[in-house]
Amino acid sequence: MALIFSPLRSSIQACRRFSAFEKLVVLVLASLVLVTWTATARADGAAAADKVHFFESKVRPVLVQHCYECHGADEANRGGDFRLDTPSSMLNGGSQGPAIVKGEPSKSRLVRAIEYDDSELQMPPEGKLSQEEIDSIKQWIQDGAEDPRPDEPVTTPHKSSFSDRQSQAKTHWAYQAFIDAPSKQEEVSLSSLELSKEIDKRVARKLAKNNLKFSPLANRRTLIRRLYVDLTGLPPTFDQIEKVQSDKSEDWYERLVSELLDSDAFGERMARRWMDVARYADNKGYVFKEDREYPYAYRYRDWLIRAFNTDLPYDEFLKYQIIADQLDPENSKGHLDAMGMLTLGRRFLNNKNDIADDRIDVVSRGFLGITVACARCHDHKFDPVSAADYYSLRAAFVGSDEPGGDPSPLRMIDKPKQEKVFVFLRGNQANRGPVVDRKFLTGILGEDAPMMSTGSGRFEIARSMVEDCKTLTARVYVNRLWTWITGQPIVDTPSDFGLRCEAPVQHDVLDLMASNFVRDGWSTKKLIQAIVLSRTYKQQSNHREDAYAIDPENRYFWKAKRRRMDFESFRDALLLATGTLDKTIGGPSVKIDSAPFSDRRTLYAYIDRQNLPSLFRTFDFASPDAHVAQRSETTVPQQGLVLMNSDIMMNLLDRFTKTETPIEDTAQSKSADAVGDLFKRILARVPTPAERTAIVEFCKAAIVEIPLTPENTWQYGYGKLNTELNRIEAFKPLPRFSEKSWMGSDGKLPDKELGWVSLSAEGGHSGAGLDRCAIRRWVAPRDGKVNVRGKLEHTPEKGDGVRGLVIANQDQVLGTWEVLHSDSQTKTKPFTIKKGEMIDFVIDAKENSSHDSFKWNCQIQYEQDQLTYDSSKHFMRTVPRSLDRWQQAAQMLLLSNEFCFVD
């Protein structure tokens, strides 16, 4: 920064010095002129000097003071492409055309700007110039805009540096052919096993050079768990581990690898990985009042699962996501949904430029590791990408339509007619620059850049990526695979292989894999197989002081990387441990952060792009707003809070008791077995004697029952109403919750004992007779003055209606209302209540108890702070019970580091 800055600043200073000297000359000249002016015809030179003087005294100081900061030589500070510090730049202007027209102030854009009449164009931004200053500038233009300043060539730094970057691209490692490819075998690809050995050879060579060596091989148990999580996203169960542990054959590992690669869970795991790349979400983001759902987004996700499970070659995988409309137009092979990659982004209030920008970004970073979107306003500052390259790509997306409906709601097709492509100067649509030849990535492909002439040009994008840009495409993807499987990237910026990305330490390993990948028919499974078969992958993950001292970042791969399970694996593992994981594959997305809680794998979660629930963000989930190169990895207490307290967790723990025998009920020996089972289910191993004892002791202690909580202010019951005294004479809770309502113990209506009496979130039904009135009771959590409001509604078309009563402390009637096929507001006078006192909302069936279903939303609001307790909003489906010790022990096993780290 300083290097760029100082020479420019000194050039400005040089200008100022020059002006002082020049002023002196001008003054002398001017006084000479004045003496002779009346006598002789005005000499051209002298007149010019006059004008120069005017400029220097009246105009230049204003420009220097108010304009140079943003419209001067300093590119870093410049507010636009327009300069006011040289004569030619003023005459030629910037992207908006000339700033001044000699002799015509009214046609001069500069004048328009300083006069402040046009709300879109007002300069200087900090405030209008004085009238005298404005008049001077107008006068100067009127007089021909004489300008003595040195006219340093108007450089277009972006353009020239674009060509610099273009030539740098010719030697940039990522854009070159594969290094050190085994040349004799060029046509023959290595088998996965051969490739894994070759990987190890190269890693070992570098380790040795740096006085490092591999860590010992991890033990079998560790490897089993590592493979399961890396390849399927699910940890192995106790039985699965036992089965492999007891496998006596030599090739147990290889067979396990094949088994897992062939499992359906593999495709699910990989699909979710790719969904980060594709910034997958189930909605459009903010689109004002338009429907924001993408109801068919899941079809793209399901296509990904199929693609990975069938090992669709990566070149085809790529092409379908960009041009499935041309490869499988009728969706006869089911590939049209692949276009969700393009069509499922944020919609930016349907601004087509921003939508296209998002698509350019997801394609260019996702497939090629090039940050093309940086070239929207100007040529890329660091990489060989010109604005023309950007607008050629833009044309491909604005030149496509999304017809929706069959054969796939996710597809995109070329528009029948393509428009001319312009650069938008500074990204401004209203500001058209030159027409561009539609060529694909001229900065990188140079002379070979293909014309994008087929329809929108998407065809050439897809083709060129797997042909002209083959090595780059392969490197980027192979680096992703390596990162996903081992947890540690070879290239640290997985979506930016641009000029600022140095060749990685493991360049040879990357190129070895990438070249073989291309020769081997772009097979994802075979490459992953090679990676996990390698010695490099199979080593231990433990810290080694000696190696750490030499290579703290593990660039040379002297150990494997221990990882915390990501959000998806972790939640899946929780479900697996509770035995409730639903392994159904595919289908519409499900909400996972609120009741009723889903048991589906986490990749089926509904992703709300606009308001991503805190649950996801807390666990470092990839932002669905834009392509994510790598998730961040944070350890924050909010994660602990979810695991300790969330309903999601409580729901899981509730399922524990259903299948576990509570420890207190069993004899000592049996309880020990129960502990053993608990460990097997959660940690997939048997406990140590010390752990056994600890759990048994922990469970022996009695629990302290939880106190009444404010959430629990509502109670659902029935009771007897004394209509003479208008008094509640008995209140009993309704014993069972079923479907949507609290009711009698049968769990269906009418109940044998209690009949129709029931209460739901919205209302309920009264029972027959005055001793079975439905009563919704609210217990005040604190003192205060409250207002009671509500709306009572009798909905059936028959019957004699119901009577509603609000009764405080069982005998103070605050109001009564009768409704018959009608509704009524149930507002009472303010009431002062003490903590623990109650308000009952009672429904009396009157004479006839059939057709007595009602709706009654009851609200109680404290005057002091407006806190409202709402019978519908705060409806409770369960009465919170204390977690028993057994559940608590299970919870701690689920929270343990052993459960969530993978060695």
Q: Does residue number 747 form part of the binding site for other proteins (CB under 8 A)?
A: no
3-state secondary structure of 875: coil
Q: Which listed range, 5-13, 377-385, 757-765, 834-842, lies at the site for other proteins (CB under 8 A)?
A: 377-385
Q: Which listed range, 180-188, 484-492, 540-548, 831-839, lies at the site for other proteins (CB under 8 A)?
A: 540-548
Tell me the residue type at 289: K
Q: Does residue number 357 form part of the binding site for other proteins (CB under 8 A)?
A: yes
Q: How far is the CB of 275 from other proteins (least distance, A)?
A: 16
Cα–Cα distance for residue pair 347/345, rounded to 1 Å = 6
| Identity of the residue, 148 or 487, whose beta carbon is nearer to other proteins in the bound complex | 487
Q: How far is the CB of 640 from other proteins (least distance, A)?
A: 3
State how far the alpha carbon of 901 is from the alpha carbons of 561, 566, 680, 753, in Å.
11, 10, 17, 53
Q: Which listed range, 25-33, 321-329, 620-628, 789-797, lies at the site for other proteins (CB under 8 A)?
A: 620-628
The token pair at 191 is: 């088998």
Cα–Cα distance for residue pair 424/433, rounded to 1 Å = 6
Q: Does residue number 740 form part of the binding site for other proteins (CB under 8 A)?
A: no
Q: Does residue number 361 form part of the binding site for other proteins (CB under 8 A)?
A: yes
Q: Which listed range, 49-57, 246-254, 636-644, 666-674, lies at the site for other proteins (CB under 8 A)?
A: 636-644
> Which residues 268-297 are close enough to bind other proteins by CB under 8 A?
285-286, 288
**Of 585, 694, 768, 779, which one interacts with other proteins (CB under 8 A)?**
694
The DSSP annotation for 362-406 comes to: HHHHHHH---GGGGSSSS-SSSS--HHHHHHHHHHHHTEE---ST
Q: Does residue number 429 form part of the binding site for other proteins (CB under 8 A)?
A: no
Beta strand residue intervals within 614-669, DSSP E = none
Assess contact for 625 and 345: CB atoms under 8 A: no
The DSSP annotation for 73-120 comes to: S-TTT-SSS--SSSHHHHHH-BTTB-S--TT-GGG-HHHHHHHT-BTT
The token pair at 623 is: 């932002």
**Of 36, 167, 211, 634, which one interacts with other proteins (CB under 8 A)?**
634
> Which residues 495-524 are close enough to bind other proteins by CB under 8 A?
495-496, 498, 500
Is the C-alpha dihedral spanning 358, 359, 361, 365 positive or negative?
A: positive
> Which residues 467-496 are close enough to bind other proteins by CB under 8 A?
495-496
Q: Does residue number 898 form part of the binding site for other proteins (CB under 8 A)?
A: yes
Q: Which listed range, 29-37, 515-523, 709-717, 769-777, lies at the site for other proteins (CB under 8 A)?
A: 709-717
Cα–Cα distance for residue pair 24/48, rounded to 1 Å = 15
Q: Does residue number 725 form part of the binding site for other proteins (CB under 8 A)?
A: no
Q: Which listed range, 376-384, 397-405, 662-670, 767-775, lies at the site for other proteins (CB under 8 A)?
A: 376-384
**Of 503, 590, 642, 761, which one interacts with other proteins (CB under 8 A)?**
642
Side-chain half-sphere of 284: how many Cα atoms within 13 Å?
Answer: 19
Q: How far is the CB of 614 from other proteins (least distance, A)?
A: 5
Q: Which listed range, 174-182, 254-262, 378-386, 825-833, lies at the site for other proteins (CB under 8 A)?
A: 378-386
Q: Which listed range, 392-400, 448-456, 598-606, 632-640, lies at the site for other proteins (CB under 8 A)?
A: 632-640
> Which residues 578-607 are close enough to bind other proteins by CB under 8 A?
none
3-state secondary structure of 518: helix
Q: How far is the CB of 121 from other proteins (least distance, A)?
A: 12
Q: Does residue number 625 form part of the binding site for other proteins (CB under 8 A)?
A: yes
> Which residues 674-693 are close enough to bind other proteins by CB under 8 A?
688, 690-691
List phi, psi (to 5°) of 236: -75, 150
3-state secondary structure of 758: strand
Which residues sit opposite 833 in a β-bridge? 784
**Of 87, 733, 867, 875, which one interacts with other proteins (CB under 8 A)?**
867
Q: Give residue for tokens 């060579």.
A: 205
Q: Does residue number 875 form part of the binding site for other proteins (CB under 8 A)?
A: no
> Which residues 379-418 are close enough to bind other proteins by CB under 8 A?
380-383
3-state secondary structure of 703: coil
**Of 164, 290, 437, 633, which one interacts with other proteins (CB under 8 A)?**
633
> Which residues 656-675 are close enough to bind other proteins by CB under 8 A?
none
| Identity of the residue, 144 or 710, whose beta carbon is nearer to other proteins in the bound complex | 710
Q: How far is the CB of 14 from other proteins (least distance, A)?
A: 25
Q: Considering only CA atoms, which of 771, 713, 702, 772 is closest in space to residue 744?
A: 772
Q: How far is the CB of 154 from other proteins (least distance, A)?
A: 20
Cα–Cα distance for residue pair 536/508, rounded to 1 Å = 14
Q: Does residue number 374 form part of the binding site for other proteins (CB under 8 A)?
A: yes
> Which residues 65-94 are close enough to bind other proteins by CB under 8 A?
79
> Which residues 825-844 are close enough to bind other proteins by CB under 8 A?
none
Which residues sit opposite 720 in a β-bridge? 730
**Of 12, 48, 505, 626, which one interacts with other proteins (CB under 8 A)?**
626
**Of 387, 883, 886, 902, which one interacts with other proteins (CB under 8 A)?**
883
| Identity of the residue, 331 or 888, whose beta carbon is nearer to other proteins in the bound complex | 888
State how far the alpha carbon of 399 is from the alpha carbons of 347, 357, 402, 877, in Å.
17, 13, 10, 52
Number of residues that bind other proteins (CB under 8 A): 107
Q: Considering only CA atoms, which of 72, 228, 65, 71 is closest in space to residue 136?
A: 65
- Residues with Cβ < 8 Å from 10, sequence gap 6 or more? none
- Residues with Cβ < 8 Å from 669, sequence gap 6 or more? none
The token pair at 452 is: 């994008």
| Identity of the residue, 233 or 494, whose beta carbon is nearer to other proteins in the bound complex | 494
Q: Does residue number 542 form part of the binding site for other proteins (CB under 8 A)?
A: yes
Q: Give residue for tokens 């078309």.
A: 797
Assess contact for 235 and 581: CB atoms under 8 A: no
Angle, alpha carbons 326-329-332 (nearest 5°): 130
Q: Does residue number 116 form part of the binding site for other proteins (CB under 8 A)?
A: yes
